[in-house]
Amino acid sequence: MICSTSVPPHPIISGHSPNSQLPLKTLYKSTKAEQALCFSLSIFLKRLRTRAWNVSTFLTSYSSPSSHLQVQKLYAGLIGVNYGRIANDLPSAMKVVKLLKSQGIYRVKLYDSDRAVLKALAGSGIKVVVSLPNELLYSASKTPSFAHTWVQKNVAAYHPSTQIQTIAVGNEVFVDPHNTTKYLVPAMQNIHSALVKFNFHSAIKVSSPIALSALQSSYPSSAGSFKPELVEPVIKPMLDFLRQTSSYLMVNAYPFFAYEANADVISLDYALFEENPGVVDSGNGLRYLSLFDAQIDAVYAAMSALKYDDLKMVVSETGWPSKGDENEVGASEDNAAAYNGNLVRRVLTGGGTPLKPQAELEVYLFALFNENNKPGPTSERNYGLFYPDEKKVYDITLTPEGLKHQGKIRRSKPVNGSKSQSTPVKGGRGVSKSSSGHTWCVANGKAEKKKLQAGLDYACGEGGADCRQIQPGATCYNPNTLEAHASFAFNSYYQKMGRAVWTCDFQGSAFVVTKRPTVKRLSTIDLPAVPSLFPESLGNASSLPVPDTKGGLFLVDLVKCIPIGT
């Protein structure tokens, strides 16, 4: 059997002119073992003609009578960047487009559909993701004419001169405190219907970024599953929609958050793509060399459990802060440089995840700039690759060409640390601060049990709090009281939301404390479960007496939240 498919004109075949038209049969004769490869190459070449793939290297060589075809890196992944603008000192949109092109960034994701930005991107060759904000989900879901008008004004007015390729409907809707989850899929459907009317539905896809908090389980990766309360109402309908429209799932994945909360058990090398022995998944035996891969495969496993193995995934956000508060473990410039730099290398050199080794990775880094008006902890203002003056926060490359001249990034001394945005925004989301900078949200023991339970359900559900430690048999399950579990969940949500005052209320069933909790002050609350995520904030204390449900006392390890004696 001979592969007779012709190679299209393209400067990617080693040793041949870009204008050559060489039949593959002149390169080799296939054996039975090579027939499958022959078919794959024909598909590859067809896609190449339409430039559907981002090809980095395609080398062939006719080496010996064994007719062995050596093919290296048929394609690489794709790198884009999130262009957030919650700041008052950013360069103009025109300057930003020049910066993107100068850095070889040809994919950008926006959090809105700003007119000036979309006009500046016209004719740039940069592929764009625009977003319909959460606050518009209700209108877009209830009124098809609203969705049509939105597409007309924010997409049709610019496309195709501005190469809009995706509309992100909402962002992390499941953790939106305004409870917009039920409007998500109807809004996506109406936006898609509007695209159909403009005949844009083939070129422009509709999706919605989800946070990893949508998962009920993510460890080990093979046990990944979505939260049961989300599956029927929204996850399955959304995945059905994505399948029907040939779209893909967008996922925001942040190894930083997992490392920050579990630095005592997660290796920093594992989180930063550096050399490490890896972690073997006890469910399928696959070895993971990075936390990022493990997180992505947990989502793949969750989709597989619902029979959606065929859907593609795009990482719509990931990043690492270059500066953080005292209690934000791991936030530093050299760690940020290592994470983002090694991630870029990981993506651009090709290959998928252990569970999906052939799946092309498409990743959008968060974020382009440090944004000085973002509320919340210091890290929120320091995810940028660039300062507002367009200088790099740290020196990493974002292109395959640059990788040839840059070795694998190792943690080293941070640079330009004094320029980080470290001052909290005054009045921004009402961020709580004590004199030491540490605050916690705890349950009000005098609140009605109905309100405590409702708050607990919300925090662990749509609120996205990590409640795994208070499940039966977990380290913080005891004391097994509603008040204790509510305190853990309330604080997890409060810390996740940047310690904003309004996130510690839960219908009057919670309040903020600014001093290290004591038994006398907070009765039967399992407070060690609260500061265990931030143990360095407690000085040298290692344990604290906590009343049990029988009125006695036992000691709880403040770092790991494990009962250690009576």
Residues with catalytic function: 172, 317
Tell whether 22 is covered by a domain. no
CA atoms within 13 A on the CB side of 389: 5
> Tens digits of per-residue pLDDT, 451-499?
899 889 888 887 788 888 888 877 788 888 898 888 888 888 888 877 7
Please, which pLDDT band fits residue 405 given cuts at 50, 70 and 90? confident
E strand or H helix at 313: strand 312-318
Please, which pLDDT band fits residue 508 given cuts at 50, 70 and 90? confident
The span from the CA of 205 to the CA of 276, in Å, is: 38
Same domain, residue pair 257 and 390: yes
Q: Is the pLDDT of residue 533 over 50?
A: no
Contacts of 232 (CB under 8 A, 6+ apart): none
Tell whether 423 is covered by a domain. no
Tell whether 435 is covered by a domain. no
Domain CATH code at residue 363: 3.20.20.80
Same domain, residue pair 498 and 374: no
Q: Is the pLDDT of residue 59 over 70?
A: no
> What pLDDT does 501 receive?
63
Same domain, residue pair 244 and 323: yes
- In angstroms and rounded to an integer, the radius of gyration of the C-alpha atoms of the chain is 25
Q: By C-alpha distance, which of 466, 472, 468 is closest to 494?
A: 466
Q: Is the pLDDT of residue 284 over 60?
A: yes
Q: By C-alpha distance, which of 182, 183, 176 is closest to 138?
A: 183
> Last residue of some domain: 473, 490, 513?
513
Same domain, residue pair 386 and 451: no
Same domain, residue pair 341 and 485: no
Same domain, residue pair 478 and 331: no
Tell whether 414 is covered by a domain. no
Q: What size, in residues, is the chain?
A: 566
Same domain, residue pair 450 and 344: no
How many CB atoms are located within 10 Å of the residue 194 CB?
25
> What pLDDT does 350 receive?
84
Instruction: Tokens for 109, please give them.
Output: 């994701």
Amino acid letter at 257?
A: F
Tell whether 211 is covered by a domain. yes
Same domain, residue pair 360 and 501: no
Same domain, residue pair 371 and 491: no
Tell whether 109 is covered by a domain. yes
> Tens digits of per-residue pLDDT, 221-252?
999 999 999 999 999 999 999 999 999 999 99
The span from the CA of 177 to the CA of 180, in Å, is: 8
> What pLDDT does 407 receive?
65
Helix extents (H) in 313-448: 333-348, 400-403
Tell whether 70 is covered by a domain. no
The structure tokens 């559907």 sit at 52
Q: Is the pLDDT of residue 64 over 80?
A: no
> Tens digits of per-residue pLDDT, 150-163?
999 999 999 999 99
Average pLDDT for the chain: 78
Same domain, residue pair 107 and 254: yes
* Residue 491: domain span: 440-513
Same domain, residue pair 321 and 461: no
Give the bridge partners for 443, in sequence order. Answer: 510
Structural domains counted in the chain: 2
**If you write DSSP's letter for every residue of 415-468 in order, what string do you get?**
-SGGGS--SPPTTSTTB---TTS--EEEE-TTS-HHHHHHHHHHHHTTT----G
Same domain, residue pair 285 and 236: yes
- Stated pTM of the model: 0.65
> Last residue of some domain: 385, 404, 423?
404
